Structure 1
Amino acid sequence: MASDHAPERYIGLMSGTSTDGVDGVLADLAGDRIQVLASTGVALPESLRQELLALNAPGPDELARAARAANALADCYADVVRDLLAKAGLDATQIHAIGAHGQTVRHAPESGYTLQINAPARLAEHTRIAVVADFRSRDVAAGGQGAPLVPAFHAARFGQGQGRAILNLGGIANLTVLEDTVRGFDTGPANMLMDAWTRRHLGQPYDQDGAWAAQGRCHDSLLAALRAEPWFDLPPPKSTGRDLFSLSWLEARIDTLPAATRPHPVDVQATLLRLSVETIADAIRRHASATREVLACGGGARNPVFMGSLRQALPCDLTTTDACGVPAQDVEALAFAWLAQAHLQRRAACLPAVTGAGHATVAGCLYPA
């Protein structure tokens, strides 16, 4: 059906916890329309990826290193924007704004801060398009977690009050519960630990199709040690990231096992997959028991072993957002296009029922073209 609204074109950019690349979407968000016009994804240069990962922990000269990494990331973002414009046959003057999340390197809302590496002014200068960035800070200032950011978008695109939940399987798994009151929270690791373990032992960025995990066996004692992490039992609202679920966290728990019983690397991978599956299923049983259908998105939705294990574990149906017309890989980037529009329209997109903030807030800061 034709729309009476003039086009409102936005670009969303996302480089998530997995730190594997940048996803970009160009969409028309006029009226109640959410129409993807172009999408793309590029891998991060390995040197930048390693620096972003290193900046998750304290190190020498980290302020200068973070500034240089932010500039390099903004340059990658600009390349993605140019690719999107070329694919859509549009130019910069036809885009309202870019939503650019940046790369989270510290997330400590309990201490009153969250930090995303980004250089939005540089991105605006290179693209000549307004940029909305720093989406988490205002919510944290209002006493919230600053995360997850996307439940309001999920409600707008996938419906509300329908017994449906959206499960993002990125580095961290997060769940949006689309009841009459929209709720959302992180459930724990999705791909992040599995990716890191694969890189360490196979020299590959991720476990393609879950093939390595499928060769191993879950190590029950290790799984019990991982499941004993107190964070899993915290009630929502809650969020997490590399600050907690790092390789050092994993290794510390492996080290608690008797040396003779420690698992082979392939069995650790199988156990990490099981950890993700069980903590997601437990979160749905505990906090989303009315859910009848889960729509998965993010990189993990393309992992058949992960998805097959989830189907067996979940108490409800599981499919992907592709079934609703949005490719699973595009959902998060599309959300940041929508968040950029929400900022310009002064619509509150950080919801207290999701983040625990004292009140709803408009997310982001504007860097004009």
Structure 2
Amino acid sequence: MDSRARWYFGLMSGTSLDGIDGVLAEFSEGKCRVALHGSAPLAPDLRAELLALNTSGNDELHRAALAANALARGYAGLVHGLLAQAGLPPEAVHAIGAHGQTVRHRPQAFGGTGYTLQLNNPALLAECTGITVVADFRSRDVAAGGQGAPLVPAFHQGVFGQAGRTVAVLNLGGISNLSILRAGGGVLGFDCGPANALMDHWCERHTGRPYDAAGAWARSGRPIGALLHAMLAEPFLAAPPPKSTGRDLFNPRWLARQLDGTGSGDASPQDVQATLAEFTARSCAQELRRHAPECGLLIVCGGGALNQYLMERLQALLPGVGVEDSGCHGLPPLQVEAAAFAWLARQCMAGEAANLPSVTGARGARILGAIYPA
């Protein structure tokens, strides 16, 4: 592999907590080329702790610091594995973009600024790898009055935008977020609601499996009308952009309230799973119709793109729109977000802005990220 190329790592552990994805990428003439992709599972105890840290608990500052250390070491292990596979020394890599694990996201709250919190130890990651690390991508946008999320629409525009045609990109991670890439070059992006976070929770609770492979379990059930109606009445869905969300809102307690409020607590688990899948599909489809009725192509990425049942439901709800996974457009679904954070690291190292005020609501373009030199 060419050691003269300007390589970047992008690392991503998302809201779904299904593991760490990493890519080794280079950027030339505005294009992204992913040379290698790897993934690593989160250790069960670390996954459980990261999930628990989404809510207040005993001694959480100490626990969060230890979890951040463990996560950084997991990142470092994946980086070393990819370096060995590529045959590259650490000094051949310009920087690592490491997002960290979001455990709280409350922008524009508490006096108007709010905060967003990602567990990470980028200093430890730099020590473990010998590579410069760029982290803390969201907080500058939040400080500038923005949501700090989503940050990927600018990357989506460069990778998936098509001149003269409106294209939408739907990322189905733990949370769903939509990028609308206008024919004239404008970009709109926002979170739609939950994607895999609630489906994975329900599947693990009732089957012991971490996710519903291909959506087969959801396919075996039937959506519960009253429960679906109550879920779709969640005020976040009707709010105008800019907007972002996370486990602060869409968590097991939220789901329990929906079940209790509609008397669906005794429903079959597979029917609840079918309802959650339908909720995700409808919340995304209605946002696309609301904000880009002219759109004829929806490109889907993230782990949810591998959920065949969910993809079928999106297509059924969006007649006349081509629903395709991102692999059809040069970047497989599980590589897109990690590649976006490699790009964000590149932007920071180059001293170039990476947020889109039209997406986040920030007061202006900002350079995102904090640099931890090798």
TM-score, scaled to structure 2: 0.95
Q: Distance in 2 between matches of 1:228 and 1:320?
A: 28
Picking from 112, 124, 135, the partner of 1:133 is 135
Query: Do the aligned residues in 2 keep the contact of 1:150 with 1:332 (CA within 8 Å)?
Result: yes
Q: In the alignment, which residue of structure 2 is the partner of 1:199? A: 204
What is the rounded CA distance, in whole Å, between the counterparts of 1:119 and 1:30 in structure 2? 29
CA distance in 2, matches of 1:258, 1:35: 50
CA positional deviation for 1:362: 0.9
Partner of 2:296: 292
Q: Which amino acid aligns with 1:267?
A: D
Distance 1:359 1:319 in 2: 33
Work out the CA distance in 2 between the residues paired with 1:157 and 1:95.
22
Counterpart residue identity of residue 125, structure 1: E
Does residue 264 (structure 1) correspond to residue 262 (structure 2)? The answer is: no
| Structure 2 partner of 1:119 | 121
Q: Quick check: 1:177 aligned with 2:175?
A: no
- After superposition, the C-alpha distances for 1:316-350 in whole angstroms (9 at most, x for unaligned) are 11101111111111000000001000001111111
Which of residues 54, 57, 74 is equivalent to 2:55?
57
State the match for 1:215 in structure 2. Answer: 220
Q: Say if 2:332 is the partner of 1:332.
A: no
Offset at 1:33?
A: 3.4
Q: Tell me the residue number matched to 2:16.
A: 18
**Tell me, what secondary structure is at the counterpart of 2:210?**
coil
2:144 maps to what in 1? Answer: 142
SS in structure 2 at match of 1:294 = strand
1:44 is paired with a residue whose SS is coil
How far apart in 1 are the matches of 2:226 and 2:266? 9
Partner of 2:351: 346
Aligned to 1:356: 361
One-letter amino acid matched to 2:58? P
Distance 2:266 2:275 in 1: 12
Deviations 1:174-220 (A, max 9, x none): 01111121111011111110000011111111011111101110000
Work out whether 1:228 is the aligned partner of 2:233.
yes
User: For 1:248, which of 250, 253, 256 is the aligned residue?
Assistant: 253
How does 1:86-97 map onto structure 2 within 5 Å? 86-97=84-95
1:49-92 deviation digits (Å, cap 9, x = unpaired)? 00000000000000000000000000000011011111211110
SS in 2 for 1:285: helix
Match of 1:34 in 2: 32
- Which stretch of the first structure deviates more once superposed, 206-215 or 153-162? 153-162
Take 1:336 and 1:132, find their aligned partners in 2: how far apart are those partners? 9
Aligned partners of 1:103 and 1:117 also within 8 Å: yes
Where 2:108 maps in the other structure, the secondary structure is helix
Q: Which amino acid aligns with 1:71?
A: N
How far residue 97 of structure 1 moved from its aligned partner, in angstroms, is 0.1
State the alpha-carbon separation in 1 of the partners of residues 178 and 31 from structure 2. 24
Verify: 1:75 aligned to 2:73, yes or no.
yes
Query: In structure 1, how many angstroms separate the alpha carbons of the residues matched to 2:280 and 2:32?
Result: 31
CA distance in structure 2 between the aligned counterparts of 1:197 and 1:262, rounded to whole angstroms: 14
Q: Compare 25-34 and 6-15 and name the one that shifted more.
A: 25-34
Q: C-alpha distance in 1, partners of 2:26/2:311?
A: 31
For structure 2, the 5+ residue unaligned runs are none
Match of 2:372 in 1: 367
TM-score if structure 1 supplies the norm length? 0.97
Residues 15-40 of structure 1: per-residue CA shift (max 9 Å, x gap):
00001100000011133331111110
Question: Secondary structure at 1:273's aligned position in 2?
Answer: helix
Partner Cα distance (1:250, 1:192) in 2:
11
Give the counterpart letter for 1:73 in structure 2: L
Aligned pair 1:309/2:313, yes or no? yes
- Segments of 5+ residues of structure 1 without an aligned counterpart are none
Q: Distance in 2 between matches of 1:8 and 1:30?
A: 9
Aligned residues of 1:7 and 1:30 also touching (Cα < 8 A) = no
Deviation of residue 258 (structure 1)? 3.4
The answer (yes or no) to whether the contact 1:25–1:38 under 8 Å persists in 2 is yes
In the alignment, is the contact (CA less than 8 A) between 1:159 and 1:178 conserved in 2?
yes
The counterpart of 1:66, out of the listed 33, 53, 64, is 64
